[in-house]
Amino acid sequence: MVSHADLGSTSGGEANPLTVGEGSDVWGWVSPSGREFACVTQTDGSAFVEVLPSGEQRFLGRLPTNTVPSLWRDAKNVGPYMFIGSEARNHGVQVFDMRKLEAFGPRSRPAIFTADAVFTGVGSSHNIVNMADSNYLMVVGQKECSGSPYIVDIRDPLNPKKVGCQSNLDGYSHDAQVIRYSGPDSRYTGREIVISYNEDTLTIYDATVKDNLRVVSRTGYEGAQYTHQGWLVDGAQTHILMNDELDEIEGTTPEGGRTATLVWNISDLEKPVQEGIFSSPATSIGHNAYPKDGYSYASNYCSGLRVTDTRQVNSGGGAASMKEVAFFDVRPEDDSVEFFGAWSHFIFPSGWIAVNSIERGSFIVRVQPGVLASGGKKGGPKGPKGPK
């Protein structure tokens, strides 16, 4: 683990200005030569680290916030360009060319970077959504059009152009995933589909026409408190795993404060069906989850990174087939239902996983050999060799 202070952060957000270093999102990029780099977002900017083959982190430098500090900062890449938004006032979207990190070696000193471009068509935002298949960007949680998705043309990444947003959709989108649809609903084959998490509904849009998004479906669910985030289980595009950020706090989950993951069947995009709920063995708030290769990796605040077997979800097993197989607790002192611990993570091709902790710093972990193949829990992910 490398603390946020050691990654150059010197202040907290507007609500906690005396705090030295707090983290939020993390996203990664792999160079053509195979080097792995992470963008670790913090209250006062973004730190860049190289994840070495040993799992250790090499701090390369940081990009300061474009305006004022804010804990809510989000990054996504399209190709080698990292796009960074924030809820900081009038922040816009910073564009950073990750390729410049390739010039850094073992003896390089950390640098203070400047953005390669800043898109000012939006001020503050909550999340950045990758529309890489069409070279567009979706900004969500912004102020215009009641917070509905805001589309940016990034076909020229250093000269982003506003496409805009619409007021006639479904209001505020908190997070989303955009896909080129190839699932079982043949009415939408080849269309660019947005799976959006809209505070109290799962909302699906057709975004093929960028300046004329269309609502495909809007579906509520029992116990909804704050529809937060979700992701497709796999390339079959039939099921998603969704988290509600406040259901554990408000006591609307099936098993007390145990983290709930909602399983949805979206085989019919116009009529999604919630098929069940998986309850984690741990007690904490559910947050960002990204399934990969048959397993879901979820950053669940105080209970840390949780890894769950999802291999049978879309073949009839549903939520009942899910089983937690590994975890790494970035906040071992408790598993409380509070906003501390793991905010998000990024899984690299090497198997190393970058986990950004709010109050501690940047962790690099990976699942121990044999755990995923066997489905058994063997102490969970481990950290790299050497100093932690």
Average pLDDT over residues 100-126: 98
Q: Which residues are CB-contacts of 75 (< 8 A; sequence separation ≥ 6)?
A: 25, 26, 27, 39, 41, 46, 82, 83, 84, 85, 128
Can you give the pLDDT at residue 115? 99
Containing domain of residue 64, as a range?
1-125+348-368+379-388
Can you give the pLDDT at residue 378? 46
Model confidence band, residue 132 (pLDDT cutoffs 50, 70, 90): confident
Whether 255 shows a pLDDT value over 70: the answer reads yes
Question: Is residue 33, in this structure, part of any structural domain at all?
Answer: yes
Question: Is residue 158, in this structure, part of any structural domain at all?
Answer: no
Which pLDDT tens digit goes with each residue over 139-166? 999 999 999 999 999 999 999 999 999 9
Average pLDDT over residues 365-371: 95
What's the chain look like in SS3? CEECCCCCCCCCCCCCCCCCCCEEEEEEEECCCCCEEEEEEECCEEEEEEECCCCCEEEEEEEECCCCCCCCEEEEEECCEEEEEECCCCCCEEEEEHHHHHHCCCCCCCEECCCCEEECCCCCCCEEEEECCCCEEEEECCCHHHHCCEEEECCCCCCCEEEECCCCCCCCCCEEEEEECCCCCHHHCCCEEEEEECECCEEEEECCCCCCCEEEEEECCCCCCCEEEEEECCCCCCEEEEEECCHHHHCCCCCCCEEEEEEEECCCCCCCEEEEEEEEEEECCCCCEEEECCEEEEECECCCEEEEECCCHHHCCHHHHCEEEEEECCCCCCCCCCCCCEEEEEECCCCCEEEEECCCEEEEEECCCCHHHHCCCCCCCECCCCCC
Which pLDDT tens digit goes with each residue over 257-292? 799 999 999 999 999 999 999 999 999 999 999 999
Question: Is residue 26, in this structure, part of any structural domain at all?
Answer: yes
Question: Is residue 179, in this structure, part of any structural domain at all?
Answer: no
Question: Is residue 305, in this structure, part of any structural domain at all?
Answer: no
Whether 130 shows a pLDDT value over 70: the answer reads yes
Least confident of 7-16, 84-93, 128-137, 349-358: 7-16
Average pLDDT over residues 131-146: 93
Per the structure, how many domains does the chain have?
1
Residue 161 has a CB neighbour count (10 Å cut-off) of: 13
Average pLDDT over residues 363-378: 80
Whether 387 shows a pLDDT value over 80: the answer reads no
- Which pTM value belongs to this model? 0.94
Question: Is residue 73, in this structure, part of any structural domain at all?
Answer: yes
The pLDDT > 90 percentage for the chain reads 90
Please classify residue 74 by burial: count the beta carbons closer than 10 Å to its beta carbon, then call 0-12 exposed, 13-18 middle and 19+ buried.
buried
The pLDDT > 70 percentage for the chain reads 94
Question: Is residue 316, in this structure, part of any structural domain at all?
Answer: no
Interatomic CA distance for residues 73 and 226, integer angstroms:
19
Whether 120 shows a pLDDT value over 50: the answer reads yes
Average pLDDT over residues 314-341: 95
Which pLDDT tens digit goes with each residue over 7-65? 999 976 554 555 678 999 999 999 999 999 999 999 999 999 999 999 999 999 999 99
Average pLDDT over residues 223-229: 97
Question: Is residue 242, in this structure, part of any structural domain at all?
Answer: no
Whether 380 shows a pLDDT value over 80: the answer reads no
